[in-house]
Amino acid sequence: MPAERSLRFEPIVHIDEALWRQRVMAQISAAAPASARLTLLSAPAGFGKTTVLAQMASQARQAGQQVAWLNCDERDKDPAMFASSLGAALARQDLGSGPHESLPSLGLSERIDGLQQPLLLCIDAYERASSPEVDGMMEQLAWAAPAKLGIVLASREPPHHHLTRLQLAGKLRIVDAELLRFNREEAMALLGNAMPAPAAAQMAAYADGWAFALQLLRLRASAGGQALPTLSRETSQIKIPRRQIFDYLANEVLATLPLALLEFLSDVAVLEQVNVAAANGLRERQDSLGFIRELTRIRPVAVVDEQSWSARLHPLLREYLIDALELAQPGRVAQLHLRAAQHLAQQGQLHEAVGHAVAGGRLDLGADIIEQAGAFRLFADEGEVRLRLMLQQLPEATLRRRPRLHLLQLMHQALEGGPASTLHEFERLEQQIRAADTPAEDPARFDLEIVRCTMLINASSHQLFFSPWSVLDQGIRLARAHAAEDERLLACTVSIEIWFLHRYGPIARCERRIREMEALSEHGAYTHNSPWIPMYHARTALAQGELARAESYIRQTLHQDDNFLNFRQDSLSQLVQALLGQLAYLRGELELAREHLAAVPSAQVRLLEILHGSHVELALCEFALGHAEQAMAQLQVARQLAFEENLPQLEVLAGAAELELLARSGDAQAYRALATRIKLDELWARAQEPFALPWVLVLALARARYFLHMAEAEAQAAAQVADQLESLAQASGQRLGELCALLMRARALSGLEPGRQQEAQRSLAQALSLGAQSAVVQSFIDFGAELITLLRSWLAGQDASGRATPELLWAQQLVQIWEQRFRERAQGAVASLLTPREIDVLCELAKDHATKLIAKNLLLSPETVKHHLKAIFGKLGVRSREEAILAARKRAILP
């Protein structure tokens, strides 16, 4: 047999080094309808049809099936020639006539009907043979095909009416290019050995699943031995084989398209998303719908949505068309970009409009688009992320030449907790705007007054004592006066007020503002800022001690933020992590809390709420886990950051937390020196003024002062701190602050004269009620073994009737949690020091049990207990029970 003819009956590709497309083959086999004997792989050139078909043939042979293969050419449009070619393919398997025998379609069907073994018939390049007569032959063959026969056609063209009729009859399954497209995992597997993973990921995105492009990229990288570091067209290091890709597009994909459709593609190639209105606007014509419908013939090089009749061109196709158009008509591409910018700006697609203006060489037009759309008002409807991306398209010099855009840039920096220089730059710009010879109605002058409210966030981070209310009230009044013209003014100012109300209080007023913000957001359809609404609710719920509701709102934020995993707002994502960490800590889920808090980047956002979580609460979490050294080191990092970045509120937070931990550890010399250094008395006096300090500072100072008094055996003074904290918490609406105050009072009063015990029990009962409602665990544990002893005493005094109140159940659960943590901590911390029985005795000792009760609980004699106590005292280097408990705390044995 001549070589040319024999090549028609074998695959023209080698599959030895090809990526095995098991996913594709499995989906082809499982595609509906299951009874169909004929399968059509329909895709443009370069999508791997032949390779998949060859792999299916190889897989069939390995399974014991016979395989016949035919590569069609133009001669096969003649039905007699097609029948002859098909017969020749079958003859190679001893199933049909000889290679020179012409068979009519019916005779061929009869021959196939007598199959004794399973046969897979693979027909490649079917578009070369397709004609009404040949399609009719395939239709007859599909109807007559026995169960042992499977036929797979590979074609660059969609099915014609004969095959469509088969599909409707359930005799044909069609697999299009979307299935053949490489998914990310397959693309990474193909490129992974040729280049580093980051470059492979970039190239996989660039090729968008097109098998031909991926293969060329792999071959070029393998041959050159170089990584592909960037996708920038201007970067000389790039090694993408564009010329080969473009030649392939021109000769294999576009050559068969009508000239009018090619001209349409050239005009709309500048658009990422082609819809009828945008295409008509660019072309200044009204016939784009028909052309978009025609694009279905080159799927998925063009992905067409038939419901909206819009399309997305493959990035390689767009690049080829743009390059070709610029060569043919210099300046035409820029003209199309500018038309796109104007059209998209009218449609409210501002980010895309600015991008086209920049691509068209008109930076001034891009700046005009942002200003005319509202400048800073865009924070309300576009959201911080989209606005940031929009501004990043313009050079810094352009932004600084436009006062309104410069204000917008500074507003973004303030919202993301920018450096202190942001405020200085705002003050300089304010002087510039006021000194400019512009009329009073100059939009920049108006923008200045509203943006000033946002700058309060930045200013507050760099001042310990700060009141935002007068400036904020002035801005909100101005916004309300002009709200009828543009509600976005209120959305921008009310959101800032909510932020400060959460920071300072009162929470009740905050709830009213959130409801107003919800109404504004719903009325204005501010969907890009929608994740912030549940976040506002989450912070409110957390302050009110409703942990489950707070977590539900946080999860809602994650669900609503479509870009959370990719282009999310830094402050939002970091606040989410900080709040999830705080929730986990309060519930006593310490490992989970540490995971969330450690996930907050430490060097990006300078907002107090986030810094508190990523530094101070993380340190408290480490301490609760028994890692006292790590906790102190973390607080030192926080204080150093506060010094370097001029963050006095963080400095006070870290100092107060460190003082608390030193007092709880019994390091008298260190905590006394620190109290003097941070001026604790002066700060606590200032904290008594309602809303003078952020609530987290008030709480941190109260705890520091309380534990200092308790360490100094000043229980009465500690109880007074508890009373003061309770009053402040009630005024601010901070229910968790009330819980802390109740626990402070209970523990402090339990150390006073016997007459105060009943009052201590009442405070403890109130705390248990709040704790049971909120499921707060760690607040109780933080107050140590003494509070657990008080809990046991309270439990012992409860009604023996067996009525299980929520408070009773919660107290029992807290004691169990504490005992479990104690045993885990003791076994981990002193396993090499104490024997297991000595650990048991130490556990009982921590419960404040007498010797006889310890003996009874452990089934030991009192003399044996005394022997173990003596051994414990000796190993810990102490002389009394109290000293043993203190030593256990220092060694992180006690939780």
Q: What is the mean pLDDT of residues 646-650?
A: 94
Containing domain of residue 759, as a range? 628-811
Which of 892 and 438 is assigned the larger pLDDT?
438
Secondary structure element (H or E) that encloses residue 673, with its range: helix 668-677
CA distance 887 to 29: 70
Whether 358 and 312 share a structural domain: yes
Give CA–CA dist 244/37, Å, rounded. 38
Residue 73 falls inside a structural domain: yes
0.75 surpassed by pTM: no
Task: Judge if 772 and 760 occupy the same domain.
Answer: yes
pLDDT at 606: 79
Q: Is residue 570 part of a domain?
A: yes
801 compared with 235, residue with greater pLDDT:
801
Nearest to 580 by CA among 606, 630, 617: 617
Helix (H, G, I), strand (E, B) or coil at 305: strand
d(CA 796, CA 828): 31
Q: d(Cα 127, Cα 455) in Å, to the nearest integer?
A: 65
Last residue of a domain, one of 588, 603, 624: 624
Question: Does 379 score more than 60 pLDDT?
Answer: yes
Indicate whether 574 and 677 sit together in one domain: no
* CA 585 to each of CA 535, 619, 782: distance values in angstroms, whole numbers, following the listed order: 19, 11, 11
Report, as an integer, the average pLDDT of 813-836.
74
Share of the chain above pLDDT 90, in %: 53
Vertex 512: Cα angle to 509 and 515 (nearest 5) = 150
Determine the pLDDT at residue 642: 93
- The conformation of residue 616, written as its DSSP 8-state character, comes to I
Residues whose CB is less than 8 angstroms from the CB of residue 546 and which lie 6 or more positions away in sequence, other chains included? 774
Strand partners, 149: 119
How many beta carbons lie within 10 A of that of residue 20, not counting itself?
15
Evaluate whether residue 819 is within a structural domain: no
Residue 22 counted as domain residue: yes
Same structural domain, 43 and 133:
yes
As separate numbers, helices (DSSP H) first and strands (DSSP E) second, the chain gives 49, 7
For 164, 229, 405, the CA distances from 169, given in Å and listed in that order, are 9, 51, 62
CATH number reported for the structural domain that contains residue 853 in this entry: 1.10.10.10
Query: Comparing 566-575, 614-623, 631-640, which segment has the lowest mean pLDDT?
Result: 566-575
**Dihedral angle computed from the Cα positions of residues 198, 202, 208 and 212, in that order, rounded to the nearest 10 degrees:** -80
Closest among 151, 173, 152, 153 to 164, alpha carbons compared = 173
Token pair listed for 479:
């916004």
Closest residue by Cα to residue 186 from 146, 229, 215: 215
**Residue recorded with tokens 């492009």:** 213
Instruction: State how many domains the chain has.
Output: 5
**Are 394 and 363 members of one domain?**
no
pLDDT at 512 over 70: yes
CA atoms within 13 A on the CB side of 163: 27
Say whether 311 sits in a helix, a strand or coil: strand
Higher pLDDT, 134 or 438: 134
Three-state DSSP at 272 gives coil
* % of the chain at pLDDT higher than 70: 91
For the stretch 829-854, what's the b/e string if a residue is b when 16 or more beta carbons lie within 10 angstroms of its beta carbon?
bbeeebeeebbbbbbbbbbbbebeeb
Q: Are 457 and 523 found together in one domain?
A: yes
DSSP 274: B
Distance (Å, whole) CA 122 – CA 120: 6
CB of 776 within 8 A of CB of 593? no
The per-residue pLDDT for 165 is 84
- What is d(CA 158, CA 306) in angstroms, rounded to the nearest whole number? 15
Tens-digit pLDDT profile for residues 30-50: 888 888 889 999 888 888 899
Q: Is the pLDDT of residue 567 over 60?
A: no
In a domain, 378, yes or no: no
581 three-class SS: helix
Check: CB of residue 165 under 8 Å from CB of residue 139.
yes
Task: Identify each DSSP E strand in 235-377 by its residue range.
Answer: 302-305, 310-313
Length of the chain counted residue by residue: 895
* C-alpha count within 13 angstroms, C-beta hemisphere, residue 598: 13
d(CA 28, CA 277): 37
Mean pLDDT of 770-788: 92
Would you tell me how many other CB atoms lie within 10 Å of the CB of residue 227?
A: 15
Nearest-angstrom CA–CA distance, 731 and 691: 9
Calculate mean pLDDT across residues 738-753: 92
Residue 825 within a domain: no
- Rounded to the nearest integer, the mean pLDDT of the chain is 86
Q: Is 824 contained in some domain? A: no
Residue 401 and residue 326 in one domain: no
Contact indicator for 51, 102 with CB cutoff of 8 Å: no
Local confidence band at 371 (pLDDT 50, 70, 90 cut-offs): very high
Question: DSSP code of 145?
Answer: -
Boundary (domain end) residue, out of 322, 342, 372: 372
pLDDT digits (tens, 9 = 90+) for 850-866: 888 888 777 788 888 88
Same domain, 172 and 249: no
The residue type found at 137 is M
Q: What are phi and psi of 154, to 5 degrees?
A: -120, 125
Q: How far apart are CA 340 and CA 362, in angstroms?
A: 12
Please name the residue that has the structure tokens 């970039």: 202
Q: Using CA atoms, how far apart are residues 789 and 815, in angstroms rounded to an integer?
A: 9
Same domain, 648 and 576: no
Half-sphere exposure of 266 (CA within 13 A, CB side): 19
Same domain, 367 and 406: no
pLDDT tens, residue by residue, 88-123: 888 887 654 444 444 344 456 666 766 778 999 999
Q: Rounded distance, CA 146 to CA 734, Å?
A: 77
| Per-residue pLDDT at 431 | 94
| pLDDT reported for residue 45 | 84
Reference 210, options 236, 234, 238, 244; nearest CA is 244
User: Do the strands 66-71 and 119-124 form a parallel or antiparallel pair, or are they unpaired?
Assistant: parallel
CA dihedral 764, 766, 769, 775 (to 10 degrees): -60
Interior/surface letters 367-392, b for 16+ CB within 10 angstroms, e for the rest: bbbbbebbbbbbbbbbbbbbbbebbe
Give the Cα separation of 264 and 279 in Å (integer). 9
869: how many CB neighbours lie within 10 A of its CB? 20
Q: pLDDT higher for 288 or 792? A: 288
| 841 pLDDT tier (thresholds 50, 70, 90) | confident
User: Across residues 761-779, what is the average pLDDT?
Assistant: 95
Q: Comparing C-alpha atoms, which of 150, 117, 6, 158 is closest to residue 71? A: 6
Is residue 458 very low, low, confident or very high in pLDDT (cuts 50, 70, 90)? confident
Let me know: does 502 contact 539? Beta carbons within 8 Å.
yes
Phi then psi for 21, rounded to 5 degrees?
-95, 60
Q: Which residues contact 417 (CB under 8 A, 6 or more apart)?
A: 457, 458, 461, 571, 604, 605, 606, 607, 610
Pairwise CA distance, residues 640 & 662, whole Å = 19
For residue 286, the tally of other CB atoms under 10 A from its CB is: 9
pLDDT band at 695 (very low <50, low <70, confident <90, very high): very high
Domain finish residue from 577, 604, 624: 624
Residues 463-489 have a mean pLDDT of 93
Collapsed DSSP state (helix, strand, coil) of residue 120 = strand
The DSSP code for 251 is: I
Whether 185 is in a domain gets the answer no
Question: Do 586 and 690 belong together in one domain?
Answer: no
CATH number at residue 419: 1.25.40
Class of residue 708 by CB neighbours under 10 A (exposed 0-12, middle 13-18, buried 19+): buried
Compute the distance between CA of residue 227 and CA of residue 199 in angstroms, rounded to an integer: 7
Residue 225 has pLDDT above 50, yes or no: no
- Is residue 176 domain-shared with residue 298, that is, in the same domain? no
